[in-house]
A and B are shown apart, each in its own frame.
Chain A
């Protein structure tokens, strides 16, 4: 059972209280972008074995969206953080580096 700490209400919420919202930090390409960019924005997703960033919603709770950094291979959770950001905060990156030296995910490392 996956347990994530909601950064908005501070609850250690278990999976059944949450809704998965897919990959985090996807950059939107809308009007004016090329077909390739829009295609990648719509369809291309990471599928890593290891460090991954996801969006989750505390749907049976405070209702807020937040981000989570976790490992897809071990289900280890490195941390959760606010959704009001376009990149993982420094402390989350450091927490991952401490356990998975040399990790890389999209443009983040």
Chain B
């Protein structure tokens, strides 16, 4: 079988923040009753994380779980394990009304890091990214200029951004422009 390659194959850019395409990331969209015991256990088994509350993201490296809406989760697993994890999850969810789908190849993931990372993202998303309002452990689904996207923080000044693979090139160029040297605004 051919070797899978991520949308931009680790393209990167250094400006007032570092923009980096993260490469392949296993992702499973899970929809169902998030308060159900079976769903909670399936998430725990796949990621080792507990069920996130509203707009919470429990992510550790390539593994984690993010709250997407009251009935939707984004489950992150290493790319190589996604098929096995998905099979185990589907097996566990057999008896309940739920849906788990592998969306790894439909997405692109970026890392935005550096002292001005908050500023770079604030330029492209209509979100309050001040330290009081947005912290590691939270996820925000929003738009990145003209396309849908979501992001969370892995640490202070370290964002991970998810968008559709078809929009990867647009998002990379967009973040590049937002991170041009000399374009600091200085609000955060």
- Near B by CB (< 8 A), chain A positions 10-30 give 10-11, 13-14, 16-17
Q: Which residues of A contact B148 (CB under 8 A)?
A: 60
Q: Given A60-B141, A61-B142, A9–B70 Cβ distance below 8 Å?
A: yes
Name the residue of chain A whose CB is nearest to the CB of B150. A61
Q: Which residues of B contact A105 (CB under 8 A)?
A: none
Q: How many chain A residues touch B (Cβ–Cβ < 8 Å)?
A: 13
Residue B69 interfacial (CB < 8 Å): yes
Q: Which residues of B contact A11 (CB under 8 A)?
A: 55, 140
Residue A8 interfacial (CB < 8 Å): yes
| Docked CA distance A14–B126 (Å) | 7
Residue B180 interfacial (CB < 8 Å): no
Q: Is the CB of A60 within 8 A of B70?
A: no
Name the residue of chain B whose CB is nearest to the CB of A7. B70
Q: Which residues of A contact B72 (CB under 8 A)?
A: 62-63
Q: Given A14-B126, A17-B126, A64-B69, A9–B55 Cβ distance below 8 Å?
A: yes
B161 to chain A, nearest CB (A): 14
Q: Which residues of A contact B70 (CB under 8 A)?
A: 8-9, 62, 64
- Near B by CB (< 8 A), chain A positions 45-65 give 60-64
| Contacts beyond the supplied A10-B54, A60-B141, A61-B141: 13 A-B pairs with Cβ under 8 Å | A8-B69, A9-B55, A9-B69, A9-B141, A10-B55, A11-B140, A14-B126, A16-B143, A60-B148, A62-B68, A62-B69, A62-B141, A64-B69
Binding site for A on B (CB under 8 A): 54-55, 68-70, 72, 126, 140-143, 148
- Enumerate 9 A-B pairs (CB-CB under 8 Å) in ascending A order: A9-B54, A10-B54, A13-B126, A17-B126, A60-B143, A60-B148, A61-B142, A62-B70, A62-B141
